[in-house]
A and B are shown apart, each in its own frame.
Chain A
Amino acid sequence: MTRRELAAVLGSVTSLATVRAQDAPANQPEDLNAAAKEQLHKNSETLSKFDLPMSTEPAFLFKA
């Protein structure tokens, strides 16, 4: 890694602190964790309402 590349990376990390300080949303982490779990719960409920034939296999293939 050249000094220029290292400086670019470190410079970016330094700017992160500024960005976080200026733009961090007001929500508390606890609220956001609860909201994220709530969203997954809603997704689960939406999917559970879908009438799925037993014969339907998942949309991925395992290749040996």
Chain B
Amino acid sequence: MSLNWRALAPHRPLAPGAAGYIPPPSGFAERIAQQVAAGASTLLVTGPVGVGKSTELAHAATLLHATHIACLIQIDRTENPRQLTAEQTLLRIAGSLVRMATETLRLPVSRDLQVSLSEAGVMPLSFESMAELEAYSNATPSTAPFRGSARSLARAAIHEVARLSHQGRVALLLDGLEKLPEGPRAMEVLAAVGEVGDEVDLIVVVPWFAAFGSHDEVIRPGAHLAPVPACEVEDDIGEPGRRFLLDILARRLELPSECFEPGSIVETMSTDVARAREVVSQRRELILEAARWSGGLPRTFLQLIADAAQYAQIRRGDEWPEMQDLADAVADQTDSFRRALLPGDTEAIHQIRGTDGREMALDRKIRLLARGIILERARGSGWSMDIHPLVRPLLGGL
């Protein structure tokens, strides 16, 4: 069987309910669902690129379906966050919620609301809906479609969908707002999200600049920060993290995880057991080595493996990479990190290693955290700044 390395798709987050989901050691999505159940109604999600924020948010949406109309809105797939306004955000929320209610849940959302959102350009009407609407308008006295502010349309959508559903409560999971550029418009967009109503639970991926300072001022009072942690992958403490990444790889390649266990090779008439175990052992070691280099970021891990596999393919036509291929993939990724470092970073990173990072200037800290150059680790009873393994060789003395 030939392996489909393209299926690793490092940059593609999993959709809600996707079969390939592997829970991380932090159990982030489970924890989010528990916090919401316990009454936390506003959660601000942060995390470095590639840590799995979108995948975890999608899984949290799946978990919340039992108690909520959980609507995942990947706003950056339809809007350019650099040009996003508060009004567009509210309209997109209303459109996404009503679309989910009508198309997926088959709830009888009012025609007035559907037409209003369609005219606002945030909800295409299906052919079926248009036929129904035509019959409806023929049977009812002619009235102009409802018009309202974006805020009133969003609230109308939430009230109506909550009332029609058996869950009775809406949770909005907003992904993509972390790309809002810092400035007054970003704060307006985030504040507008908070205006959808107190009866709505909000789980929102926010920009890093919104993660520092008072969280009450970001979306609405009572907000809690929920950082998605990169899993530990080094030393003994990193064993569950390495296992998590290995399981992701196996799932994406549609292989059983046991196929990376040398002990799983059983003796048969046609198998050279010792040789087969040696091959599996080498593959396992390569995967675990990639996991260590990844710093616990699933995207980086998958990218390293995919790149190593490609080196093996174009150099030798081999299906599986060797350690030299992984070394070159590591060099490619290290180059990318090198280009992301700016003057002054080396000394600043040295100074905060092992501390909670409070002494680093905020703009530098945000830039380095967003890229995963420095990683916040929960250790003991506090937080400690770690340096990404791919960055350490660039800094010297680490």
A associates with B: no
